[in-house]
């Protein structure tokens, strides 16, 4: 495996991810059968989950991407959200699904949901691959959750630590010494 020297533990394998992504996509296909939702991926962490999931959703969907920053390159949120790249699609009157890699404190998704509702989206639901419930700071309703994970910093399947490890196929925890390095 790529970068395997840095990996301490595989938390979720690519086979388990694929099975769960299929289940969520089937659920979305059923829930939105009378709609053509606008699916917004949160860059960069959600890109692989988004790409895999949209291809399994059997609906006529539109896709767009947004990029926000709340982490200053470390392992915990700064609490301050900056919009780095906006969507280019008009979301007014649309059923929107925001696709995230992981919900930690919940501040990023709270910010995005409020912004999209202010822009008159007809509905805003959230699909996240991972959730760390023990870290939640804001109370946010999440309709689709892939897996609940413990309070460990994870990488792979799109998620990074200081921009590394995004292309690992499994979701992994790194060795302590990697997080300590500058
Ligand atoms: P929140 O605003 O605290 O919920 O932070 C959510 C964002 O933080 C996610 O979209 C991720 O980009 C990032 N994040 C939180 N936990 C992790 C992790 O364990 N690994 C990688 N990124 C994470
Ligand atoms: Mg993210």
- 130-154 pLDDT, tens per residue? 999 888 889 999 999 999 999 999 9
Protein residue closest via CA to atom 20 of ligand 1: 154
Name residues contacting ligand 1 (CB within 6 A).
Answer: 42, 45, 70-71, 77, 100-108, 153-155, 159
Q: Is 104 a catalytic residue?
A: yes
pLDDT at 13 over 90: yes
Structure confidence at residue 137 (pLDDT): 87
pLDDT at 162 over 80: yes
The secondary structure of residue 133, as a DSSP letter, is G
What is the average per-residue pLDDT within 22-38?
A: 97
Enter the tokens of residue 167. 């292309």
Q: 53-80 pLDDT, tens per residue?
A: 999 999 999 999 999 987 655 566 666 8
Structure confidence at residue 178 (pLDDT): 87
pLDDT band at residue 17 using 50, 70 and 90 as cut-offs:
very high
- Between the CA of 8 and the centroid of ligand 2 the distance, in Å, is 22
Least confident of 5-14, 106-115, 171-180: 171-180
Residues with CB under 5 A from ligand 2 (ion): 42, 45, 101
The CA–CA distances, whole Å, from 177 to 6, 153, 164, 174 equal: 8, 13, 15, 8
Considering Cα of 157, then 90, then 79, then 141, what sign does the dihedral take? Answer: negative
Instruction: Give the chain's mean pLDDT.
Output: 93
Enter the tokens of residue 126. 């959230």
pTM: 0.93
Strand partners, 145: 128
Protein residue closest via CA to atom 17 of ligand 1: 153
């Amino acid at each position: 495996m790529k970068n395997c020297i840095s990996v301490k533990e595989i938390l979720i394998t690519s086979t388990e991810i694929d099975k769960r992504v299929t289940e969520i996509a089937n659920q979305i296909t059923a829930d939105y059968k009378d709609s053509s939702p606008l699916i917004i991926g949160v860059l960069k962490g959600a890109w692989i989950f988004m790409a895999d999931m949209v291809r399994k959703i059997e609906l006529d969907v539109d896709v767009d991407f947004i990029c926000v920053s709340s982490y200053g390159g470390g392992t915990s949120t700064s609490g301050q959200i900056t919009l780095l790249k906006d969507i280019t699609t008009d979301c007014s009157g649309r059923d929107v699904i925001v696709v995230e890699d992981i919900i930690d404190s919940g501040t990023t998704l709270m910010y995005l949901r409020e912004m999209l509702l202010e822009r008159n989206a007809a509905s805003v639901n959230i699909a996240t691959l991972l959730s760390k419930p023990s870290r939640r700071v804001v109370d946010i309703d999440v309709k689709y959750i892939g897996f609940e994970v413990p309070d460990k910093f994870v990488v792979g399947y799109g998620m990074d630590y200081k921009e590394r490890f995004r292309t690992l196929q499994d979701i992994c925890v790194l060795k302590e010494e990697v997080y300590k390095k500058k």
